[in-house]
Structure 1
Amino acid sequence: MRRTPSRRPFAAALLVASVLVPVSVVPATAVPAAAAPARHGTDDCPEHGKGHGHGHGLGPELTARLDKAIEDVRREAGIPGAVVGLWMPGKGSYVRATGVADTATGRPMTRDMYVRIGSETKTFTVTALLELVDAGRVGLDDPIADYVDGVPGGSGITLRNLAEMRSGLYPYTFDPDFQHDLLSDPSRSFTPEELLAYGYQHANTADPGEEFQYSNTNLVLLGLVIEKVSGRPLAEFIHRRVLRPAGLRHTLFPGDATFPEPHPRGYTDQTLTGETTDATDWNPSWAWAAGAMISDLHDLRSWAKTVATGTLLSPRTQAERLKTLPTGIPGTRYGLGIFETGGWIGHNGSIPGYETVTVYLPEEKATLVVMINTDITVDGQEPSSLLARAVTEIATPDHVYDRPFPQN
């Protein structure tokens, strides 16, 4: 847990990861059908396969500039391995894997790897919630107290407040006891109730709707709402109602340390000593609905457009999702489980060992995906954000990605 301003609190980091545990009654479990399907390349997805090439290029000059910028950031930020994909209809695409997936063996990073996507899980959880809104099963302005007992001030906190990070509930990942318990035993499995209890020890930080505060507590509660209303474990509901309709065959919601092959080793300094360690097999249950999911480049590319354009939702509900509000940080606004920065819409993720960025630029119908195998910050900045910024400064200079607030 990051403990100083220059190193985001693990709570914050966990925040990025969006970690949550299974819902009250039933633990979230990986859906077998989503485990690790065989890979099949497609004509429009040049990123599949193990090479380091660029797919359908953006031209030699732009490609060379992107190559240099990515490699410069990777080396300066100490990122072991990175995969970057940029697709710009009418102009071409760029897909690059660089560095190593394993610092001990030197095994190279490849484009077909699975990674833990941390807080990008929030986009799946909120999409699931919004599908229930479309079905008339829940209302965005319903109080959380209608669904979950014991929430401090729950009668005045709406589902909308939770999804837009304006509930005022204390982030459980900021709690010192939680940080100690997780880092003392990263293999431990947490329940949603256990996670919420850490946060409930503290007074609410603001009145509902008053202030933006990124908090995994909000998503754990939304996960519980989905389970209660649907009558299904969160992982199962997301698989059936989100992943399957979206055609995401390489995305899963594990209930333990499950991690399909191939995947890179992941490195973090979120430890009790502050030393760097291998977090590949840490149990992500602490992030649950906020950050426990796994995906790959192919699926994240597809998901970016699905989220930004709302293909799984009614136009009215998608419009609600895209009503972004200021975060207090210049250039970054937050909607319902989604942010907008420099015109890019989507989310990033950070969980010990891994970071990702998955965003879509409606103005150019462009998609950017970044996947790396470390979450170690550089001067307080997440390395995935440094890569995304460097790429967009070159490829879309009028729309530079700049997401400055840490999210674990």
Structure 2
Amino acid sequence: MRPTRTRMRRAWVAVAAAGLLTAPAVAGSAYGAATPAPSVSAVPSSDGGTDFPQLTPAVDAQLDAAVRQVLSDTKVPGVTVGLWAPGKGSYVRSFGVSDKVTGAAMKPDLGVRIGSETKTFTVTALLQLVDQGKLSLDDPIGKYITGVPNGNRITLRELAGMRSGLYNYSEDPSFDAKITSTFTPQQLLDISFKHPVNFAPNAKFEYSNTNLILLGLVIEKITGRPLHDVINQDVVKAAGLSDRTLFPIGNEFPEPRAQGYTNDLPGGKITNATELSPSWAWAAGAMVSDLQDLRSWAKTVATGTLLKPATQAQRLKTQPIGIIPGDGYGLGIFNVQGWIGHNGSLPGYETLTVYLPQAQATMVIMLNTDDLSNGQEPSTLFGEAVTRIVTPDHLYPGHKPVEPKSG
């Protein structure tokens, strides 16, 4: 078995960018034809930033070529890319295959598991309770959940902002061998709490899925309802999303969907992980969705449609993570070179859903693998390829390669 990759530890602290290769674009299976095009640059805006370009056929063709190149370089089975900006048009393409056995093409209407993008939904549910006056972000977690190390000092705000210091259960050395098991939230906490804390509360940023498990339990305790019901009714339905977006009770995953492939399961071989139970991820990463719902959610979560303005302002107040100057993590959300949102990665799938307020632009990228490419997240490589063309002044993720830190 290959060395452990601590699942879902890769949002977004470990999304190190890689420079794009300059070899000619290669043809591949695509849901939408493309032809080579000359380079097209974004037009400077009056405020000194970069205006989002008109998504003309020439720009579309340039994007096609760039996405095909990354698809070839990374050996990702299939990818869907969506771009939308008011008055600029849209770009929606799928490339490669959704099923390696049948050879069925990847298509824009196929659902995927969204991994850590679930965090944006969980934290939204928490912040709704703040708006309702049922809790405070500065409450200690010990007020609601007993047995948490430093529980009388760690606040809900620090949990949502990844500054608790609690050990990430998915980094436990034995966790890989258990990944196909079914877990309860308490079992996940038990794995974390057998380890000492990594640092004092609020001392620094460190991504930990343990934080979201605790927040999920707080939501259940305050509402008296199962987390899946709170998310599906109070967040998904309230946001106007379809039933294609779902916090499952088990491993529900509506059709049509892309088959997801990983070499991150016991045995280290390429495995179809489509039916893998997401119970090990729960409030940190269990959800499924599709392109159009993620497009809608990107703006909802970035602009705070479901929250009071003051609460949204707290959510978007980011703190540095110590890797990329100027970028940071807020409350269950990041700001990367102006792109606000989150990414997700778990066995079989990766996603990236972000919104750029300056252009009111949305970018959604969905893959049916989580396998790294030369140590890089493929979703990050696609995001960089796309933004290099449409928003070079807001390049995602906007930094040189950085070796991810193990927990």
Q: Normalization by structure 2: what TM-score?
A: 0.86
Structure 1 residue runs of 5 or longer lacking an equivalent are: 17-49
Name the CA distance, whole Å, in 1 between partners of 2:94 and 2:68: 10
Give the 5 Å matches for 1:80-159. Answer: 80-159=77-156
Q: Which structure has the highest helix share of the two?
A: 1
Aligned residues: 366
Residue 296 in 1 paired to residue 290 in 2? yes
Secondary structure, in 3 states, of the residue corresponding to 1:380?
Answer: coil
Aligned counterpart, 1:357: 352
Give the 5 Å matches for 1:190-201. Answer: 190-201=183-194
Aligned counterpart, 1:313: 307
**1:115–1:354 contact (8 Å) kept in structure 2:** yes
Shift of 1:9: 2.6
The verdict on how the C-alpha distance between 1:406 and 1:204 changes in structure 2, with shifts beyond 3 A counting, is: closer
Paired amino acid for 1:178: F
Aligned counterpart, 1:52: 32
**1:129–1:222 contact (8 Å) kept in structure 2:** yes
Aligned counterpart, 1:181: 178
Name the CA distance, whole Å, in 2 between partners of 1:15 and 1:205: 19
Shift of 1:179: 2.2
**2:160–2:212 contact (8 Å) kept in structure 1:** yes
Name the CA distance, whole Å, in 1 between partners of 2:386 and 2:271: 28
The verdict on how the C-alpha distance between 1:15 and 1:230 changes in structure 2, with shifts beyond 3 A counting, is: farther
Aligned counterpart, 1:374: 369
**2:31–2:105 contact (8 Å) kept in structure 1:** no
The verdict on how the C-alpha distance between 1:288 and 1:310 changes in structure 2, with shifts beyond 3 A counting, is: same
Aligned counterpart, 1:244: 237
Paired amino acid for 1:3: P
Give the 5 Å matches for 1:53-72. Answer: 58-72=55-69
Aligned residue among 201, 221, 224 for 1:228? 221
The verdict on how the C-alpha distance between 1:2 and 1:312 changes in structure 2, with shifts beyond 3 A counting, is: farther
Paired amino acid for 1:141: D
Query: Taking every aligned residue pair, what percent have the same amino acid on both sides?
Result: 57
Shift of 1:240: 1.5
Q: Normalization by structure 1: what TM-score?
A: 0.86
Name the CA distance, whole Å, in 2 between partners of 1:58 and 1:407: 40
Aligned counterpart, 2:269: 275
Aligned counterpart, 1:387: 382
Shift of 1:271: 2.2
Name the CA distance, whole Å, in 2 between partners of 1:316 and 1:377: 39
- Runs of 4+, deviation exceeding 4 Å: 13-16, 403-408
Q: Deviations over 1:87-112 (max 9, x none)?
A: 01121110001100011110000110
Shift of 1:245: 1.2
Paired amino acid for 1:205: N
Name the CA distance, whole Å, in 1 between partners of 2:256 and 2:303: 30
Structure 2 residue runs of 5 or longer lacking an equivalent are: 14-29, 35-53
Aligned counterpart, 2:332: 337
Secondary structure, in 3 states, of the residue corresponding to 1:126?
Answer: helix
Aligned counterpart, 1:257: 251
Paired amino acid for 1:342: Q
The verdict on how the C-alpha distance between 1:61 and 1:295 changes in structure 2, with shifts beyond 3 A counting, is: same
The verdict on how the C-alpha distance between 1:9 and 1:219 changes in structure 2, with shifts beyond 3 A counting, is: same
Q: Deviations over 1:158-178 (max 9, x none)?
A: 000000000000000011222
Name the CA distance, whole Å, in 2 between partners of 1:271 and 1:335: 31
The verdict on how the C-alpha distance between 1:349 and 1:407 changes in structure 2, with shifts beyond 3 A counting, is: farther
Secondary structure, in 3 states, of the residue corresponding to 1:176?
Answer: coil
Shift of 1:11: 6.3
Secondary structure, in 3 states, of the residue corresponding to 1:155?
Answer: coil
Secondary structure, in 3 states, of the residue corresponding to 2:255?
Answer: coil
Secondary structure, in 3 states, of the residue corresponding to 1:138?
Answer: coil
Name the CA distance, whole Å, in 1 between partners of 2:280 and 2:3: 18
**2:319–2:329 contact (8 Å) kept in structure 1:** yes
Paired amino acid for 2:178: D
Shift of 1:2: 7.5
Name the CA distance, whole Å, in 2 between partners of 1:14 and 1:211: 16
How large is the RMSD of aligned CA atoms in angstroms? 2.1
Shift of 1:294: 0.3
**2:11–2:342 contact (8 Å) kept in structure 1:** no
Name the CA distance, whole Å, in 2 between partners of 1:207 and 1:3: 29
Name the CA distance, whole Å, in 2 between partners of 1:374 and 1:199: 27
Residue 206 in 1 paired to residue 206 in 2? no
The verdict on how the C-alpha distance between 1:407 and 1:59 changes in structure 2, with shifts beyond 3 A counting, is: farther
Shift of 1:136: 0.4
Name the CA distance, whole Å, in 2 between partners of 1:239 and 1:353: 23
**1:119–1:407 contact (8 Å) kept in structure 2:** no
Aligned counterpart, 2:3: 3
Q: Deviations over 1:21-61 (max 9, x none)?
A: xxxxxxxxxxxxxxxxxxxxxxxxxxxxx95379xx81121
Secondary structure, in 3 states, of the residue corresponding to 1:90?
Answer: coil
Name the CA distance, whole Å, in 2 between partners of 1:353 and 1:15: 18
Secondary structure, in 3 states, of the residue corresponding to 2:92?
Answer: strand
The verdict on how the C-alpha distance between 1:209 and 1:219 changes in structure 2, with shifts beyond 3 A counting, is: same
